[in-house]
Structure 1
Amino acid sequence: MKRWLWMAAMVALMMYGTAFAAPATGVDDTATQIMTLAGDHRLVVLGEYHGTAETPLLVADLMERYSRDNAPVRLGLELPMSENAALARYLRSNGDADAREALRTQPFWRVKDDQHDGRRSRDMLALIEALRALRAQGRDVGVAGYDIEISAYDSDVDRDAAMATHLRQQFNALPTGTRMLVLTGNVHAMRHPFADAPPEMKHRTMASYLLDLPLYSVRVEALRGQSWGCLKPCRAITLPERPARDPVAETDADRSYDVWVYLPELSVGTLTDP
C-alpha cells in the first residue's frame, strides 16, 4: 500500500475522531484474493456486513490498487443518489474543515441517535476522504450513491430493482475500460437467494438484475468479530466464529455469490456523532 495513502487516511480518521493505524491485519491479503479471483470483471460487487471498521479499509485498499497506472475506477456506495452532488463537491475540495462539515451535514449523515444500520460511520467518511486523497494525487477515481431515498424504503418501491437500475445507468455511462466497485449489504449482492432462505428473503436481489453485465459478486465474511445491525433495536451483532479458511469459490448456475472471502476479524466502526 502506498505510504502516502495511509498517511492521508490516518489524518482523515484523526479529523473524524477515530483512532487509526496501518491497515487491519488481513485486509491486504483479502484485497489480493479479491483482485486475483475477480480477474477482468469490470463490475465487482462487495457484499458486506454494515457498520464495520475493516470493510472501508478493504475498499480503500482495493480502490488504491485498481487505480494504479492511471486505471479509471469508480465506487458505488449504498447512499441515496441525492447525496451525489455533495460527494462530487467533496472529491473536488481540499478536504479542509469546511469541506468535511459540508459533507457530514448532508441529510444522509445527519442522524440523531444510533438507530440506523451502520452505513453512517466515521469509517465510511474516512473512505471517502481516502478517495479524495487519491484524486488529489492524480488518480482517476470517483464515487457515487445508487440507493433510493430513505423515505421510500417502506413504500411499494422495489428497492433492489431501483438500485439495480441506478447502477446499470452509472455503469453504462462509464468510459470504456473503467472498472466499478460496488459496496452493498450482503443480501443485495446475492446473484440468487440461498436455496434454504425463508420466504421473506426469496425476492429478487439487486445483483440478480445485473447478471447480464460483467459482474463478480463477493461475500465479505470474517472468522470472528462483530458488525452493526438493526434487529430491534440496532446494536452490535456477534458473528459466528470459524476456523481459518481460504476463499470459497462457487460455480453453480444458481450460486448466491461468485466467491466468499474471509477477513480475520470484523469490529464495529465508529458511528457518526448525533
Structure 2
Amino acid sequence: MAMGAANAAAPAPAEDTAAQIMRHAGNGRMIVLGEYHGTAETPQLVADLVERYSRDNASVRLALELPMSENVALARYLRSNGDLDARQALRRSPFWFVQDDQHDGRRSRDMLDLIEAIRSLRAQGRDVGVAGYDVETGSSTDNEVRDAAMATHLRQQFNALPHGARMLVLTGNVHAMRAPPADAPPEMQQRTMASYLLDLSLYSVRLEALRGHFWACLQPCRALPLIERAPRVAEASSGENRPYDLWVFLPELSVGTLTDL
C-alpha cells in the first residue's frame, strides 16, 4: 500500500486565470474581457494573456478602451525604446490628465505598464500590437450610441487583422455583455458593444474576483469594495441569452496607481 501511495500521481496544480480563459475560449478570435476599471491585477492578467497567445509566431492585437485619437501615439510608442521620454510622450494627450471626480479608472500606471509589456514583446520579435477603439472623451453622453460606435471601430480593426490573428479586447464589464441580463433595470436594457459583434467568433469573459476593491464613478469616483466570495472555479455558460460566455474569478483585485489624481 505504501508503494502504491508513493507512486500515485500528484494532484494537478490549480489552473491559473489566464489558462482558464484560454482553455474555455478555444479558437475564438475575438476575446472580450469585461473588467472593473482601475485595478492593478487586470492589466497584469491581460499582459500575461498576450504573452501566452503570441508564442510560436502567433499574431495578437490588443484593443483598449482608449479614444481612437490615441492610436498615433500608441503606434509611436511601440516603435520607441520605451524610455522615460517615450513614456512621457505617450501620455501627453488630454486623455491622460483627467483628475478628481472625473477619473474613471482607465488611466493608470498599470495600464501604461500593460502598453509597455506589448512594446517589449514586439521588440523581442513577437507579432503583437495595441490600439484604442473608443469615441473621443465627451463626444457622446448616450451609452448606446457610444457602444455602437465602439463596436464599429472594433469591427474595422478586426477585419484588418492578419490572417488567423486573435484580438483581445479589454473593456468595461457592461460593454462586454452579449446581452443584458433579464433582470437588469430599464436603463441597462439596451444594446451593448459586444452585442453588435456576435458574428465575429466573439467570446465574452467577465473578470471577477473573490475579494478586493475596484475604482468606480458613482458620485464621486472612488474605491469600492467587491462582495467577498468563497473560492470557486470558472463558470461557463451556453444559454441563448447569456450575458457572458465565461466568468472567471481572480483571487483578489486592488486599486491600481491612477494617474494624476
1:240 corresponds in structure 2 to 227
1:140 corresponds in structure 2 to 127
Unpaired segments ≥5 residues, structure 1: 1-26
| Residue 207, structure 1, aligned to residue 207, structure 2 | no
Find the residue that maps to 2:224 and give its secondary structure.
strand
Q: Is the 8 A contact 2:144 2:190 kept in 1?
A: no
Q: TM-score, normalised by structure 1?
A: 0.88
| Residue 62, structure 1, aligned to residue 44, structure 2 | no
Hey, what's the Cα distance between the residues in 2 that align with 1:177 and 1:104?
Answer: 32
Give 1:80's aligned amino acid.
Answer: P
Q: Is the 8 A contact 1:28 1:61 kept in 2?
A: no
Hey, what's the Cα distance between the residues in 2 that align with 1:164 and 1:111?
Answer: 24
Q: Is the 8 A contact 1:247 1:259 kept in 2?
A: yes
Structure 1 segments (4+ residues) deviating >6 Å: none
Quickly say closer, same or farther: Cα 1:205–1:121, change in 2 above 3 A.
Answer: same
Give 2:52's aligned amino acid.
Answer: R
Hey, what's the Cα distance between the residues in 1 that align with 2:88 and 2:64?
Answer: 20
Give 2:235's aligned amino acid.
Answer: V
Give 2:212's aligned amino acid.
Answer: G
Give 1:225's aligned amino acid.
Answer: G
2:74 corresponds in structure 1 to 87
Hey, what's the Cα distance between the residues in 1 that align with 2:180 and 2:98?
Answer: 31
The count of aligned residue pairs is 248
Q: TM-score, normalised by structure 2?
A: 0.92
For residues 150-187 of structure 1, the C-alpha deviation after alignment (integer angstroms, 9 at most, x for no partner) is 12132687000000000000001111100000000000
| Residue 121, structure 1, aligned to residue 122, structure 2 | no
Find the residue that maps to 1:50 and give its secondary structure.
coil
Q: Is the 8 A contact 2:101 2:219 kept in 1?
A: no
Which of 71, 80, 93 is matched with 1:106 structurally?
93
Q: Name the Cα RMSD after superposition.
A: 1.4
1:7 corresponds in structure 2 to none
Find the residue that maps to 1:203 and give its secondary structure.
coil
2:7 corresponds in structure 1 to none
| Deviation, structure 1 residue 28 | 7.6
Hey, what's the Cα distance between the residues in 1 that align with 2:87 and 2:31?
Answer: 28
* Structure-to-structure mapping, 1:172-251, within 5 angstroms: 172-251=159-238
Hey, what's the Cα distance between the residues in 2 that align with 1:41 and 1:211?
Answer: 11
Unpaired segments ≥5 residues, structure 2: 1-13
Give 2:34's aligned amino acid.
Answer: G
